[in-house]
């Protein structure tokens, strides 16, 4: 993966950290879309499987990390509806 | 790109549509993280450039679409603070 790809993957992966921390802290999920996090979490799970299929470690790592963040936000959304 | 990759890319791309529509409709951005959408929009922009560098059309299309959604949410967050 080229440097620009590594920067891109790092940014899109770590971007979910501030949202996860904010949601855990504020428990404010009214503006968060259940549809988005249901579809997104499923999509990131598919990316992880795809990473295993093609044997690409950066894809696996980036998506496992994003999956943990997205699933946490999804669970908070379901918990604090 | 294999079928699983296409499914994964489609899901993670379209997932931002319900969030975008919800935010436009409700103007409720208190639970949305400015940090997330600042970093994420930048990251998706980098993914688009990376797509051009390696000449991968699916990466370009998926990220241009996601960029439009993410930028819309970011603008709404800045507008309805």
pLDDT digits (tens, 9 = 90+) for A5-40: 999 999 999 999 999 999 999 999 999 999 999 999
Q: Which residue, among A68, A51, A66, A61, has the nearest Cα to A14 in the 3D structure?
A: A66
Q: Compute the average pLDDT of residues A40-49.
A: 97
Q: Compute the average pLDDT of residues B6-18.
A: 96
Specify whether the CB–CB gap between B4 and A53 falls below 8 A.
yes
Judged on CB neighbours under 10 Å (0-12, 13-18, 19+), A37 is: buried
CA distance B40 to B59: 16
Q: Is the pLDDT of residue B17 over 70?
A: yes
Nearest chain A residue to B47, by CA: A8
| Domain total in chain A | 1
CATH of residue A47's domain is 1.20.1280.290
Q: Compute the average pLDDT of residues B60-70.
A: 96
What pLDDT does residue B3 have? 87
Specify whether the CB–CB gap between B33 and A14 falls below 8 A.
no
What pLDDT does residue B40 have? 98
Chain A residues whose beta carbon lies within 8 Å of the beta carbon of residue B35: 15, 18-19, 22
Q: Do A12 and B50 touch (CB under 8 A)?
A: no
Pairs across A and B, CB distance < 8 A: 130
Q: Is the pLDDT of residue A70 over 90?
A: yes
Q: In terms of residue numbers, what domain contains B8?
A: 2-79
What pLDDT does residue A45 have? 97
- Beta strand ranges found along B1-81 (DSSP E): none
Of A9, A28, A43, which has the smallest distance from its Cβ to B11's Cβ? A43
Q: How does the average pLDDT of chain A come out, rounded?
A: 95
Q: Report yes or no: A53 at the B interface, CB cutoff 8 Å.
A: yes
CA distance A9 to B28: 28
DSSP A13-30: HHTHHHHHHHHHHH---T
Share of chain B above pLDDT 70, in %: 99
Find how far residue B35's CA is from the centre of its chain. Answer: 14
Q: Compute the average pLDDT of residues A31-59.
A: 95
């Amino acid at each position: 993966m080229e440097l620009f790809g590594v920067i891109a993957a790092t940014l899109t992966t770590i971007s979910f950290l501030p949202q996860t921390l904010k949601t855990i802290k504020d428990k404010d999920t009214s503006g968060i879309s259940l549809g988005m996090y249901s579809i997104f979490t499923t999509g990131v799970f598919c990316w992880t499987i795809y990473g295993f299929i093609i044997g690409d470690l950066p894809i696996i790592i980036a998506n496992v990390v994003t999956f943990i963040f997205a699933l946490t936000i999804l669970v908070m959304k379901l918990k604090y509806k």
